[in-house]
A and B are shown apart, each in its own frame.
Chain A
């Protein structure tokens, strides 16, 4: 299904962050109820990401970034690094973020990774729980003493015969 020019326009405004919060909320509600818009928005996000990665492989020729620009060993580098670290800490405090936890970004793949890490945690916990249950089970089984064996009825008369 094709988008109307207005729908396409709104997707661009959203992606270029030209919407205020109220508009953004209305837009996201609209996207959630419109499959074509949802699909196109996802496609554009993937496209933007793929374009960046494609250009990364080439070294961003259009941007004119040189190897020298990537040098982190310039005069005053330590001082600026400190200030950047400080800014990062302040920002995390503002965001009430836990620095140990990864931030889940907007890319679809990011959510998948975050989910995989949660899954990994779940399986570790499940394995630990199984171990505990096994140990408790064996302990209980061993401490319950010898099994009670039902005596076999032996007919003494039949033996004599």
Chain B
């Protein structure tokens, strides 16, 4: 089995459902080969933006990867790979990131409990009212999330067509033909249109950076 085969949904389902444990073990190993490093990069970046998960990036990412793979395996084995446009990689990373988000949330809760000094008090920030007095901490986190904030703002300011083109290409990884059928564009010009959209986004983000 070539690990790259796992990126093809029908083969992924076939290997995960195989009654031969050697095939399943090989498929699980291939998930590590294909996705471990890309996810670890994301996990590090995600955890390092939060004060309470800094320096725990490695453990949390590994745990999230393992949990994500468990759930992904079970889902594929049971329901197959629903063709929801996304690639195997995007789907897999989404499972791991969802697990990571849960783990990070737990860390946040225990961190808040620890700071509150009362294990029974679970503190959540409610609206704009910072009842806990930990506003400074949140501001610090916000500062570190600046890159994500810039991209988010940039996306909001982008016209709908450009936003969709970028999302379909970069997130759902749709092929030119699929994007063409959704937009009415000529398949040959899709690449160019996506590139133009990215240039627009780049300009907006640079503008926002200069404003700051």
Q: A52 and B171: CB pair below 8 A?
A: yes
Which of B45, B62, B74, B170 is the one whose CB lies under 8 Å from A107? B45
Give, as a whole number of angstroms, the nearest-CB distance from B32 to chain A.
4
- Classify the interface of chain B: helix, strand, loop or mixed: helix
Chain B interface bracket (under 10, 10 to 19, 20 to 34, 35 or more) = 35 or more
Contact flags (1/0) for B85-110 with A, using CB distance below 8 Å?
A: 11000110111011101100000000
Q: Is the beta-carbon distance between A107 and B198 smaller than 8 angstroms? A: no
Contact B46 A63 (CB under 8 A): no
Cβ-defined contact, A64 with B82, below 8 A = yes
Query: Do the beta carbons of B191 and A5 come within 8 Å of each other?
Result: yes
List residues 50-69 of chain B with CB under 8 A from any CB of chain A: 55, 57-58, 62, 66-67, 69
- Return chain A residues, CB-CB under 8 Å to B44: 102, 105, 107, 109-110, 113-114
With CB as the reference atom, state the residue of chain B lying closest to A55: B171
Cα A87 to Cα B69 with chains together (Å): 11
| B98/A56 in contact, CB under 8 A | yes
Interface size on A, residues (CB 8 A): 54
Closest to A113 in B: B48
- Chain A residues, CB < 8 A from B40: 102-103, 105, 110
Instruction: Report yes or no: A49 in contact with B37, Cβ–Cβ below 8 A.
Output: no
Residues from chain A with Cβ under 8 Å of B166 in the complex: 47, 51
Nearest CB of chain B from residue A92's CB, rounded to whole Å: 8
A49, B66: Cβ atoms closer than 8 Å: no
A3 in the interface, Cβ–Cβ < 8 Å?
yes
B148-A54 in contact (CB<8A): yes
Nearest chain-B residue to A120 (Cβ)? B55
**Alpha-carbon distance A106/B42, docked complex (angstroms):** 9
Q: Which residues of B lie under 8 Å from residue A72 when comparing CB positions?
A: 67, 70-71, 99
> Hey, what's the 0/1 contact readout for B151-185 against A, CB within 8 Å counting as 1?
11001000000000011001111000000000000
Q: Say yes or no: B84 contacts A63, CB within 8 Å.
A: yes
Given contacts A47-B198, A65-B98, A69-B95, contact A87 B82 (CB under 8 A): no
> 0/1 per residue, A1-19, Cβ < 8 Å to B?
0110100110010001000
Is there contact, CB below 8 Å, between A80 and B70? yes
**Are B25 and A70 within 8 A (Cβ)?**
no
A44 within 8 A of B: yes
The answer to whether B10 has its CB under 8 Å from any CB of chain A is no
Nearest residue (CB) in B for A108 is B45
Name the distance in Å between B173's Cβ and chain A's nearest Cβ.
7
- Name the 3 nearest CB pairs between A and B, nearest first: A105-B41, A50-B151, A87-B28
19 pairs from A and B in contact (CB 8 Å cutoff): A49-B42, A51-B151, A53-B42, A53-B46, A64-B82, A70-B102, A71-B71, A74-B74, A84-B66, A86-B25, A87-B32, A88-B36, A90-B29, A91-B29, A105-B44, A107-B41, A107-B44, A110-B40, A110-B45
Question: Known contacts A87-B29, A113-B44; can you find 13 more A-B pairs with CB under 8 A?
Answer: A47-B166, A47-B201, A51-B170, A59-B98, A62-B84, A62-B171, A70-B95, A71-B71, A83-B24, A85-B66, A87-B32, A88-B62, A113-B57
